[in-house]
Amino acid sequence: MVTGALDGVVIADFSRVLAGPYATMLLADLGAVVVKVERPDTGDDTRAWGPPWRGDQSTYFGSVNRNKRSVAIDLSSTEGVAEARALALGADVLVENFKPGAFDRMGLGFDQLSPHNPGLVYCSITGFGTSGGAELPGYDLLVQAVGGLMSITGSSPDQPVKVGVALVDVITGLHATVGILAALNERTTSGRGQRVEVNLLSSLLSGMVNQSAGFVGAGFVPQIMGNRHPSIAPYESYPTADAPMVIAVGNDRQFRACADVLGCPEWADDPRFATNPARVQNRSALFAVMCERLATAGAEEWFARLSASGVPAGPIHDVQGAFALADHLGLQPVAQVAGEPTVANPITLGRTPVTYRSAPPVLGESTLGDIEGLSAPPSPGGP
């Protein structure tokens, strides 16, 4: 029987919506037992976030909650808090994204639980940290705006737009996953858990990589450039005879190959285009001559010809086209869980692969007594 990399790890998941649930789903795919704690009657907010629906379930909720067990606990009641505490004391990891201080007031904070479960890895996800931004609500769109992402996304400086998915939540969920795995690894040596904290704003600033580094390292404040890149050319979208496509040349060798395919090998020796800094400086002139050549054939034809020469290029697909391409390339982008399709986990492990064991849970379908592997650990002071 194949075992998961995180078999035996129990996660008490008090997170809601996207960042936390995405992190805990990835950990569940890797074999962890994830107990999702939800409000009675309504559950996670995303259960109601539709359309689209698959049957009576929101596909949004389904996107981040497979391989989990749902327990309904009323954290506003004394009994519910006691049940939550019992879960936390029997878990290896606790994940929560409540307003800072909320769990401490309930007696469920790290400092309150750690003495009785010394191995507990306690991950808190917030919008803006636990100090000056503790009172600010953390929503992806808000952080895209105040965190600078919208200032570099859009077609023109007077038209900033959000990214078409809650990317900040996803980046934060990935950071939370890395932090949790690092803490679990360290625990194998020390025997002790620790606090893990991530927040949306810091995750976004890190996730903007070169744009953030340009400001921190050189004082450069990036601006909206549409599909162009501030440091590379040609690296943008282009019209063709039938549909737009992108060409993403990353070095001079690729540019020479691109010029050859487009029938203009002399471009590679033109002082305006011979090096990347020159191409960036003369990007408008380069764009104009490339558009002339690309207008002679369609996007798919150019995709085939450029790709065959090692030039990064491709048509602009919709999501259906993206899945079709991934399937064509043998990436198996769709998996099956309980007879239903799910977006495949992108991580491949040779000996302990991810598994798809159960569909997103029905609200409150389990009780703590049903959860395998859950037991309060020994502690010096008792609960």
Rounded CA-CA distance 112/106 in Å is 10
Rounded CA-CA distance 201/255 in Å is 36
Do the beta carbons of residue 315 and residue 309 sit within 8 Å?
no
Burial 310-333 (b: 16+ CB within 10 A, else e): ebebbbeeeeeeeeeeeeeeeeee
Q: Active site includes 169? A: yes
Q: Which position has the token pair 């990935």?
A: 174
Using DSSP, state whether 12 is helix, strand or coil. Answer: strand
Residue type, 130: T
What pLDDT score was predicted for residue 370? Answer: 82
Rounded CA-CA distance 287/235 in Å is 10
Burial degree of 269 (CB within 10 A; 0-12, 13-18, 19+): exposed
Rounded CA-CA distance 332/344 in Å is 7
Residues 220-273 pLDDT 10s: 999 999 999 999 999 999 999 999 999 999 999 999 999 999 999 999 999 999
Closest C-alpha to 291, from 232, 238, 225, 241: 238
Rounded CA-CA distance 88/94 in Å is 7
Task: Give the pLDDT band (50/70/90) at residue 134.
Answer: confident
Residues 177-236 pLDDT 10s: 999 999 999 999 999 999 999 999 999 999 999 999 999 999 999 999 999 999 999 999
Question: What's the average model confidence in pLDDT over 127-135?
Answer: 89
Residue type, 314: G
Question: Could you say which of 56, 74, 169, 270 is catalytic?
Answer: 169
Omega before residue 52 within 30° of 0, cis:
yes
372 pLDDT above the threshold of 80:
no
User: Between the CA of residue 31 and those of 4, 24, 134, 308, 353, what are the distances in Å?
Assistant: 4, 11, 33, 40, 9
- Domains of the chain, start order: 10-208+335-370 (3.40.50.10540), 245-315 (3.30.1540.10)
Question: In the numeric block, which tokens belong to residue 198?
Answer: 């991530």
Residues 334-360 pLDDT 10s: 999 999 999 999 999 999 999 999 999
1 pLDDT above the threshold of 80:
no
Whole-number average pLDDT of the chain: 94
What pLDDT score was predicted for residue 371? Answer: 83
What's the pTM? Answer: 0.92
What is the percent of the chain where pLDDT is above 70? 97
Do the beta carbons of residue 160 and residue 150 sit within 8 Å?
yes
Question: In the numeric block, which tokens belong to residue 41?
Answer: 């009657």
Do the beta carbons of residue 91 and residue 374 sit within 8 Å?
yes
Question: What's the average model confidence in pLDDT over 296-313?
Answer: 97
85 pLDDT above the threshold of 60:
yes
377 pLDDT above the threshold of 70:
no
Q: Where are the beta strands (DSSP E) in 22-113?
A: 33-38, 53-54, 57-58, 68-72, 93-96
